Amino acid sequence: MKKLIPYIPKVVSYFFILLFCYAAISKALDFENFQVQIGQSPLLSAYADYVSYAVIIIELLIVCILVFPNTQLIGLYSSTALMSAFTVYIFLILNYSDFVPCSCGGILEKMGWTEHLIFNIACVGFGIWAIYQLEKRNSKPMVKTLIILSVSNILSCLLIIFLFFSSEYIIKKDNNFTRRFLIHPVIEDKVLDLKVNSYYFAGIDNNTIYLGSLTAPLFLSEVNQDLSRINKRKINLSNKDHAFRNLQVQTLKNWIFVYDGTVPVIYRGDLKTLNAKMISHNDAYFTQFLAIDSSSFALRTQTTDDQKYSLALLNLDYPFPLTLKRDILQKQIDGVFDSDGYFVKDNNTGKLIYAYSYRNQLMVMNETMRLENRLKTIDTVSQAQIKVTALSDGRRKMSAPPLKINKGLATNRNIVFVHSTSMAKNESAKSWNDVSVVDMYFSDRQEYAGSFYIKNRKGEKLSKMIATDQFLFVIIGSELIRYRFTKPIKNLYRSGEAENLNKE
């Protein structure tokens, strides 16, 4: 054994040369994928561009230093410090990360994170042993060796800790358009073929999904949440003497509402019988409609004086039922196209959410439409990228294709699900055309919660979605698909519940 000890520094050096050389080359050969994996790391997402290059360069530099006998000692110190940094990184992943990502591949691709941790600790131990033997052979003071080892390893570990905390802040609070993809947050488990692609979500309760149809507007389809059965029923209106152009339905608790904002009428009926009577006539024209209760509604309308979009509250119990909320939607260009967006209501909390289509902002309101939060999405487009031309007859139209960043919206409890159309910095361009991305935000604070993909089906992308505590239901083409939420998203719901209890 004593005869082998003098060869330890050389053997350990050769081991690190092989390890770092293979790791650097494998990362370089599949660099785009490596960048995406670093970008999905819960510790280094914000620095993916820099870290992906830095890791490869540092590994190759250490290989070069280790090759030459005169710099072998420096190479061993550097190797040990780098492996200490990797060890701290894995420790933080396992103990302080919001989720545990997939392995970054390479020579240790088949190992789990715990095995990675053990392997790295062993490498640090071998590095220290090799340094000790080499310094001992050179009759260097052990105190000096310990100081250099301690300082180099502590500094490398502190760098990783700094990157962790600063990346967390950047990603969650001050995002520079870097997505963090949760690991398997949704799992597809049920599919129902609807035969046609004209359906939209009219509502949902504990057992049933309600679907409206653009091509058959006076029919309501009821689907069990297990997607085992669909039942189509006809809605009976008390008065049909109106030139409807966009008749739609919406359900809330035991009521059904039928409306067409191009005609200022609203019908209300019992969900059991589907007999609906007119409850509002000439109170307001509107472009979007949300039922708050049986006689109160959130609308998006256009003001008569300047024709800008405005949110409004329609309460039929008041003598003057319509109240405009002019300060919520903010004009940037024309007050119409630039303020276009999606309006949804969470039936659990009563919160109303409006997300702009062409800029990175969403608004959170209570049921009286009092503005509670203006929150930013991680997309960096804060100014609507649209061009509008006024026609001679007073109408306006888009004069160039707009840059649309949000395409859909859903909310449940403390989480807002945004269907984004923008590719972030850390995503693969190869797979972008095959998926739709859903970003998640907390509705009670400025914090990005993570993202996940919904794969295209039969060449069609996600068009509509609605969320419950257990499931995300989406419509893609002519199919209704149920995705089951897994622990990463259920934990987000629980964190919101805990915070709400603390506030109370």
pLDDT above 50 for 260: yes
Residues 485 and 386 in one domain: yes
Number of domains in the chain: 2
Residues 50 and 88 in one domain: yes
Q: Residue 412 belongs to what H/E stretch?
A: strand 406-412
Q: Which of 172, 194, 210 is the last residue of a domain?
A: 172
Q: Which of 172, 200, 234 is the last residue of a domain?
A: 172
Phi, psi of 41 (to 5 degrees): -65, 135
Residues 88 and 190 in one domain: no
Averaged pLDDT of the chain: 87
- Residue 168's pLDDT is what? 65
User: Is the residue at 178 inside a domain?
Assistant: no
For range 245-253, the mean pLDDT: 94
More confident residue, 130 or 481: 481
**Domain range spanning residue 144?**
5-172
Question: What residues are paired with 494 via a beta bridge?
Answer: none
Residues 332 and 234 in one domain: yes
User: Is the residue at 133 inside a domain?
Assistant: yes
User: Is the residue at 412 inside a domain?
Assistant: yes
User: Is the residue at 32 inside a domain?
Assistant: yes
**What's 33-55 look like in SS3?**
HHHHHHHCCCCCHHHHHHHHHHH
Tokens of 221: 């389809």
Angle between helices 8-29 and 48-67 (to 10 degrees): 140
Residues 95 and 221 in one domain: no
pLDDT above 90 for 304: no
Tell me the per-residue pLDDT of 53-102, one tens digit each, with 9 for 90 and over: 888 999 999 999 999 988 999 999 999 999 999 999 888 878 776 555 55
CATH number at residue 240: 2.130.10.10
Question: What residues are paired with 420 via a beta bridge?
Answer: 406, 437
Residues 144 and 254 in one domain: no
Residues 328 and 374 in one domain: yes
> What do you get for the CA distance between the two ends of the chain, in Å?
68
Tokens of 372: 């509670």
Q: Categorise residue 99: left if φ over 0, alpha if ψ from -120 to 50, beta otherwise.
A: beta
The strand pair at 208-213 and 255-260 is best described as: unpaired
Residue found by looking up tokens 């409609």 in the block: 289
User: Is the residue at 181 inside a domain?
Assistant: no
Tell me the per-residue pLDDT of 436-492, one tens digit each, with 9 for 90 and over: 999 999 999 999 999 999 999 998 999 999 999 999 999 999 999 999 999 989 989
pLDDT above 90 for 429: no
Cα–Cα distance measured from residue 499 to residue 256, given in angstroms and rounded to the nearest whole number: 34
pLDDT above 80 for 243: yes
Tell me the per-residue pLDDT of 170-195, one tens digit each, with 9 for 90 and over: 665 655 688 888 888 999 999 999 99
Residues 198 and 225 in one domain: yes
Q: Which of 137, 172, 207 is the last residue of a domain?
A: 172
3-state DSSP assignment of residue 268:
strand
Residues 368 and 301 in one domain: yes
Confidence of residue 282 (pLDDT cuts 50, 70, 90): very high
Residue 432's identity, in one-letter code, is W
User: Is the residue at 180 inside a domain?
Assistant: no
Residues 162 and 197 in one domain: no
Residues 141 and 225 in one domain: no
Tell me the helix, strand and coil percentages in the chain, rounded to 5.
Answer: 35, 30, 35
Residues 125 and 246 in one domain: no
Phi, psi of 244 (to 5 degrees): -65, 140
Q: Give me the DSSP letters along 329-383.
A: S--SSSSSGGG-EEEEE-TTT--EEEEESSSSEEEEE-TT--EEEEEE-SS---S
CB 381 within 8 A of CB 422: yes
